[in-house]
A and B are shown apart, each in its own frame.
Chain A
Amino acid sequence: MNAQLLISGVIFGLSLGGIFFLMSIGLSLCFGLMRVITLDQLLYYSIGAYLTYTIGLLTGDVWLGIIGGVIVAAMSSFLVERVVFRRIYERDLAFSMITSFGVLIGGVGVIKYFWGLIPRPVPAPIAAQVNILGTDVPSYRLVIIGVAMLVYLGIWIFLNRTIIGKAIRAGTEDSGHVEGLGINVYRLFTITFIIAGALSGLAGGLYAPLIMVDPQMGLEVLAFVFMVVIIGGLGSIKGTLISSLLVGQVVSLGSLIYAPLAQMAPFAVMLLILLIKPTGLFGSTLQKR
């Protein structure tokens, strides 16, 4: 394997890791605060991608499409939280998992109804190439890495430096106590849900120019999102970042060696890590209340 291939492989892996981070951070945030598993994040991911396609087609500006995708994804996650999740916060874990899965599958049906079955291409907003160490790299991939880093920083500042963020962090530890302080925990739940949905929409919008947008796209990345979340540890933001970068590299470099490895290698890594540490790298020991 020559150096050029390796460098482009690493950059590819980093941008893939950034996308994985944005995709799975919503699931991780929601589990951390509310102890529900929200597979419907993958629906907001598809919604973000589809709106990027449609708005990009209508206005000719993909960036505008990504912004629109984020907004609509956030709105639909707000709707789902109000209509569905409000009723199952108190229930067993199986309920949130199946209900969110139902929302995801039903959402795929809705997408098929509106946009049809045909995969749609989205043009890349930046076509320029950047030269890094003698290798030409598409600068759009660098943009993705940058956005993912900014989002991580933003979440960190939000959770550690703002009063709402501090309340959310306190809620993950002991929601009864936070309620006792006169803070409306359900409002915190809603805020977290909207943030999670918006980030999933952002992942879809950013990823859309690199792949074809099709109705099954949410289900296709399902396995990767699980692996990222499990390797990093449910509910840990730092863990999600590290494991998404790890899985991105494993997928990218694995597919350079032998193409089918891209699907299987992260699974092997996950089993290995679970063998050593059953709660993932940074998993909390908190149980469902």
Chain B
Amino acid sequence: MNIVKWWWGLLLCFGLVALGRVFLPLPFAIEVLIFSIYTMGCNYLLGRVGFISFGQPAYLAVGAYAAAFYFFYLGNNPYLGLLIGIVVGMVVSLIIGPLFVRLRGDYFALVNLALAVIIFYLMQKVLANVTHGDNGLWFLTSLTATPILDLTRPDQFFIFAFLAAFALWVFYKYLDDTIFGALCLATKMNDDKVKSLGYSNFNIRLVAFVIANTTTAFAGAMYAVYLGFVSPAITGPERAADPVVVTILGGVGTLYGPLVGSVVYTGLKDVLSKVLGNWELVIGFLLVFIMLAGERGIWGSLEPQLRRLFTRKAAGGVSQ
């Protein structure tokens, strides 16, 4: 069956990530995992529903600040903080979703980006006496250790992030096989037809929007727990393009795209800005270069080749 096949793919892919843990520095591996979760939501919106979500940092900030407020003012259990981040992210996207999903693609992109910038100002200036403005909220030392999978220790945090990313991948893969997944693709291709089949485009888009943004908020809460501090820079205007770029770099709508894209983008960013020093220049030219290089992305152009390789091998096996 189909299921057996993609299980192998997932296991192989995450096996490589686990193997990478041995060779790569730990912060880099964790960064890649969180970033891939962050991108997953954007990838789903862009690849399955056809929304260019340029404001994904807004939802990242919602999750991060929800967790940060809990850690700073209320309690110190990391798991509870993550849960709060997820719930608040879901509630916020449920509130703004009905307004946003009615918009046409180009307006959706601009309004989302405006939302990200507004949340940046909100956290930096308007709520400065709660969020401490640009200094951010620091709570690394106040987090308590938990008995199983101690999130305050980076090596155990890696295992948690690894498991979370794996679970999300299985979830999104499962979503593709359900009727809902098929409907998402259908609203992207031909929304009139979906309507004539008796489904509501609005509901489909709203559910997809909430799922994707909740995933992003989860990534935000993970950043809060891992870094131990949150500042407005997390949703700064110069980072707004990150998730969309990684999505396109990895290959829009492909299963492994976010992971491949995160590895390449985080790596390039680290290496190039260390060599050149001028961070903005590096990001800017990287974006332009990636956009001009191709539409299908790394995994998108790699996948057909791999598939051909495997099917030829399989066909050869049958004929012998």
Check if B171 is an interface residue, CB within 8 A of chain A: no
Tell yes or no: B307 within 8 A of A by CB.
no
Contacts A98-B287, A104-B284, A219-B238 hold; do A91 and B295 have CB atoms under 8 A apart? Answer: yes
- Please encode chain A, from 104 to 136, with 1 for each CB lying within 8 Å of some chain B CB and 0 for all others: 111111101100000000000000000000000
**Contact between B126 and A229, CB atoms less than 8 A apart:** no
A274 touches which one: B54, B107, B237 (CB < 8 A)? B107
Chain B residues near A143: list those with CB within 8 A: none
A93 to B284, CA, bound (A): 18
Instruction: State whether A234 touches B107 (Cβ < 8 A).
Output: yes
How far apart are B175's CB and chain A's nearest CB, in angstroms? Answer: 22
How far is A87 from B292 in the complex, measured between Cα atoms in Å? Answer: 7
Flag if B278 contacts A109 (CB, 8 Å): yes
B residues 101-121 with Cβ under 8 Å of A? 102-107, 109-111, 113-115, 117-118, 121
CB-based contact B238/A263 at 8 Å: no
Task: Of the listed stretches A6-14, A160-168, A220-228, name the one at the interface; the rest are far from the partner chain.
Answer: A220-228
Number of B residues near A (Cβ < 8 Å) is 43
CA A280 to CA B118, docked complex, whole Å: 19
Chain A contacts for B278, CB-based, 8 A? 109, 112-113
Which chain A residues lie closer than 8 Å to B286 at the CB level?
A: 102
Q: Cβ of B240 and Cβ of A227 under 8 Å apart?
A: no
Is B315 an interface position by the 8 A CB rule? no
Nearest CB on A from B320, distance (A): 45
Main secondary structure of the interface of A (DSSP, over half): helix
Cα distance A95–B114 in the bound complex, in angstroms: 18
B279 beta carbon closer than 8 Å to chain A: yes
Whether B99 and A275, one on each chain, are in contact in the complex, defined by CB atoms closer than 8 angstroms, is yes
CB contacts (< 8 Å) of A230 on chain B: these are 107, 110-111, 114
Q: Tell me which of A95, A105, A108 has the highest count of chain B C-beta atoms within 10 A of its own C-beta.
A: A105
Q: When the two chains form their complex, are residues A37 and B109 in contact, meaning their CB atoms are under 8 A apart?
A: yes
Residues of A within 8 A of B295 (CB): 91-92, 95
Cβ of A94 < 8 Å from any Cβ of B?
A: yes
Judge if A210 is at the interface, Cβ distance under 8 Å: no
Given contacts A230-B111, A288-B106, contact A108 B121 (CB under 8 A): no
Question: Which listed residue (A31, A105, A279, A288) contacts B283, Cβ 8 A?
Answer: A105
Kindly list 15 other residue pairs between chains A and B, CB separation below 8 angstroms, not including A99-B288, A234-B107.
Answer: A93-B106, A95-B248, A101-B287, A105-B283, A106-B281, A106-B285, A110-B281, A219-B238, A222-B237, A223-B114, A234-B106, A234-B110, A274-B103, A274-B111, A278-B104
Leading 7 A-B pairs by shortest Cβ distance: A106-B284, A102-B287, A109-B281, A109-B280, A105-B284, A223-B117, A102-B288
